[in-house]
Chains A and B, each alone.
Chain A
């Protein structure tokens, strides 16, 4: 039933000469929408994507995830929709029901492109509808439509039903059953996975957002855009991990399976070991040959990192493979693929789902593999029986069962598939990340494992504090301009800054972008401090300081030296401009024009 049709007025696509982002404010209480320009100085200071979302969330930093006033923000970057390689990304942001922190998730798919074509840089959604809604945006019209979609409808059907409306972001049954790590799925395949953004959307009674537009992106200098695109493509071609014989371009992120096993940093048995002997059962080669994989990719992306199998069913990414595999001591590839599918179809973060099951297995002294594992995932999505506690994530589960140390999480978010004992920059990055244990905020795997752009000693904290801080800033900028982090296994800010100049006409240098990233990351940290987070939360589970990993030939995996870790963390605070307790100082906030 069509309820309200709101016309948010005529406007043109930002031609980028005046850098004022178009933000559509959608109020689900009143079912109205209004378009506003975010002032130019604010837009420039936060760029777009994750940056502008962080700014908008800082307006009311104390809100809880499930409050109607809490914004759910969809935001694209200035490069989104351009011809620059791997620039088809956007961010979805809010406050996390899982961690209590600010959270933001980079996601691909067609939604960001349709937002660009509809002329929208930001969609800012607040309020809570009395009844479940689908909000559809088509050019400059917003439609609020009540829906009778039931809780248990698979997301696949939702996407099928809505696909004629353009790009679709939707939440599934896990979110409506209260799963704290429910995701928002975009176009059926791409997940804004971590931190429970799906639950924020479901708490607003918003089932789906669809967007369709027909405008073209105004690019200031097409010739310069082509130059930047060519430079970036050259660097992709020169990167073994992107376009190499076994790179992401060929095998997706599954190409990391063999490497993590050989480096003895594949989390196994809930991180009690770091090597799984049967890892070849789910290696990239195995997946690719047995599942007859073909590729999917985001707009303007030559990497095409997503794989789908026969019948178009999506195949899991590295973290999912490793955690439904090694972390649960499961060598049954079919069940890994099925568990991934169940998560995507119900809308759940695969990393937290797999890690929560591994946590339960450790507490009970059992193993959940094959079909048992898949059934466990289904139970989790249902929120019924055991699923009621499983859907709260490993920290709450472990505490509830009286074994809090069994949760392998930081700030209540489960640790991804790079064991921190095998990469000390990663250990630090898990703790300083502003959304809980996240490998993508600093992504030191790039230099600690993939040797890009240079290698660093993975078993050393030397220099890592500054390296992590700079990487966090850089990645905040990447998330804010609409680029993909995989691109930076080859290219750098030098090339994307030229792309920014070409698309927006802004005289902005690579180091300016990194400084903007510093502003964004520091603001995120400051928001978290307001929400009660501090030094005590920037720590790994004790296991990593006490228990060794699984050593291999000529390779010993020791516990992390806690005092060296703490020294590195103290250096990090100093470099980040924080007090000894990890709170950004007023001086630092002023330097970054945040106060």
Chain B
């Protein structure tokens, strides 16, 4: 238990979700409570007694997120409803507490997996593992970031649109804007073109780590595949991009095995992209400004397509189903080997090397970041 607590404390720090280890308290419970600190606060003991959960994180997010929360709380008292599709699907909304007493926190967490405390701290729970509480924490930070910057963008480009989108008017905060950094690494990661199954596995693992390390995406948002011989090698569902060792499914292209029921939710799209483009390397992540800018220009409906300069934007749901991405994304990828999914994230592919796919994803994010700055006149 303590090893797991240390692991996720480290990840909170490494991904910039908290500024220091002292800002986060992590707890896991089987029949006793394990804690990242020497004490278990009364609130946490109470929450474990009234909630059927195995883990709790209480953490003060890093300064950027804290500022974002402060701004959003001001305009959305009581509840913040994310606008990106991943958060809409998995989080729904985030309760904002007016008071920090036991009952208020418990009431919020009886309804949702995470909430925001009056001081801007984020409290999350996991029903099964601490990883869930971490993923929810990370997801809330992502959702709030996208919500804030989208609202600021909408506020900057005209009030008529605000009403259409039912978002609040938010003045850009100089403190937050001063913390905006251009995306991507200065030094590009080195990727190889694999020539054996072992190298395929190694390359996928390495690419996942490098993509997260670059800061382009958060670890729990995305998936990756490489097609070699008669198989697609693809990251498993609920696998962190920077921890893919042993979590890659080998999927027969002829559909003769059903082992892929543990594969990424987007496997159908990966297969079809490969079929249509013959690209072997496919990378998907959620670079934040690509997501934000995909929503600029108004709502989209399933099947619609538009462009942000030359970047196709398509609209479809995560995974399969009648409105699934699989029906709209592959044809857009055929056009330009990259596309943004409305309110969701970017797909990029390349014939042989993940480096080209990574570059495409990075360039889109840089372009979106620059466009954003221009639009809000930073």
Interface residues of A (CB under 8 A from B): 231, 233-241, 243-247, 249, 251, 254-259, 262, 283-285, 447, 449-456, 462-467, 470, 473-474, 492, 494-495, 497, 509-512, 514-515, 518, 571, 574-575
Contacts and interface: CB of A to CB of B under 8 A. Distances in A.
11 contacts: A234-B89, A239-B265, A240-B260, A244-B267, A251-B258, A259-B261, A447-B129, A453-B128, A454-B128, A494-B113, A509-B107
A259 B259 CA distance: 5
B102 to A, nearest CB: 14
Q: Which 3 A-B pairs have the closest CB atoms?
A: A237-B321, A246-B258, A511-B110
B374 interface: no
B321 A243 contact: yes
B261 A463 contact: no
Interface stretch (B24-32, B273-281, B303-311, B351-359): B24-32
B92 A244 contact: no
B31 A237 contact: no
Contact of A454 (B89, B111, B131): B131
B271 interface: yes
Contact of B238 (A285, A451, A474, A492): A451
Contacts of A467: 54, 128-129
Contacts of B338: none
A241 B261 contact: yes
B263 interface: yes
Contact of A237 (B28, B257, B318): B318
Contact of A258 (B111, B112, B258): B258
B262 A511 contact: no
A466 B30 contact: yes
Nearest to A574: B31
A148 B131 CA distance: 60
B258 A518 contact: no
B261 A246 contact: yes
Instruction: Name the residue among A466, A518, A575 with the largest chain B CB count within 10 angstroms.
Output: A466
A218 to B, nearest CB: 25
B236 interface: yes
B266 to A, nearest CB: 9
B83 interface: no
Nearest to B55: A463
Contacts of B113: 494
A237 B30 contact: no
A28 to B, nearest CB: 40
Contacts of A452: 237-238
A514 B54 CA distance: 13
A466 B55 CA distance: 10
A261 to B, nearest CB: 9
Contacts of A512: 110
B97 interface: no
Contacts of B238: 451-455
A147 B31 CA distance: 55
Interface in B308-354: 317-321, 323-324
B318 A257 contact: no
A511 B267 contact: no
Contacts of B248: none
B207 interface: no
B128 A235 contact: no
B268 interface: yes
A283 B258 contact: yes
B89 A462 contact: no
B298 interface: no
A285 B257 CA distance: 7
Nearest to B320: A243
Contacts of B259: 246, 258-259, 262
B342 to A, nearest CB: 14
B158 interface: no
A510 B50 CA distance: 12
Contacts of A465: 30-31
A238 B238 CA distance: 11
A463 B260 contact: no
A244 B263 contact: yes
Contacts of A233: 321
B199 to A, nearest CB: 18
A508 to B, nearest CB: 10
B128 to A, nearest CB: 5
Nearest to B85: A234
Given A284-B258, A453-B238, A244 B30 contact: no
Chain B CB within 10 Å, residue with most, of A238, A239, A450, A497: A238
Contacts of B255: 245-246, 285
A415 B321 CA distance: 34
A574 B320 CA distance: 42
Contacts of A243: 319-321, 324
Given A245-B260, A510-B110, A240 B237 contact: yes
A575 B90 CA distance: 29
Contacts of B92: 231, 494-495
A454 B129 contact: yes
B319 A244 contact: yes
B1 interface: yes
B45 to A, nearest CB: 15
B104 interface: no
A510 B111 contact: yes
Given A234-B89, A456-B128, A494-B112, 17 more contacts: A237-B321, A238-B318, A240-B237, A240-B319, A245-B271, A247-B261, A255-B258, A258-B259, A259-B258, A454-B132, A455-B131, A463-B28, A467-B129, A473-B52, A511-B50, A511-B52, A512-B110
A258 B259 CA distance: 6
A470 B52 contact: yes
Contacts of B111: 494, 497, 509-511
Contacts of B258: 246, 251, 254-259, 283-285
A454 B28 contact: no
B361 interface: no
Contact of A463 (B112, B129, B236, B262): B129
Contacts of A236: 321
B150 interface: no
B244 interface: no
Contacts of B319: 237-240, 243-244
A241 B260 CA distance: 9
B123 interface: no
Interface string B8-31: 000000000000000000001111
Interface in B281-319: 317-319
B135 interface: yes
A231 B91 CA distance: 10
Nearest to B3: A462
Interface in B111-169: 111-113, 126-129, 131-132, 135
A466 B263 contact: no
Contacts of A494: 92, 111-113
B109 interface: yes
B43 interface: no
B68 interface: no
Contacts of A238: 89-90, 265, 317-319
A590 to B, nearest CB: 15
B230 to A, nearest CB: 15
A583 to B, nearest CB: 17
B375 interface: no
A237 to B, nearest CB: 3
B36 interface: no
Most buried by A among B1, B129, B262: B262
Contacts of A574: 31
B51 interface: yes
B89 A451 contact: no
Given A285-B257, A285-B258, A511-B109, A447 B128 contact: yes
Contacts of B132: 453-454
B215 to A, nearest CB: 24
A447 B129 CA distance: 10
Contacts of B317: 234, 237-238
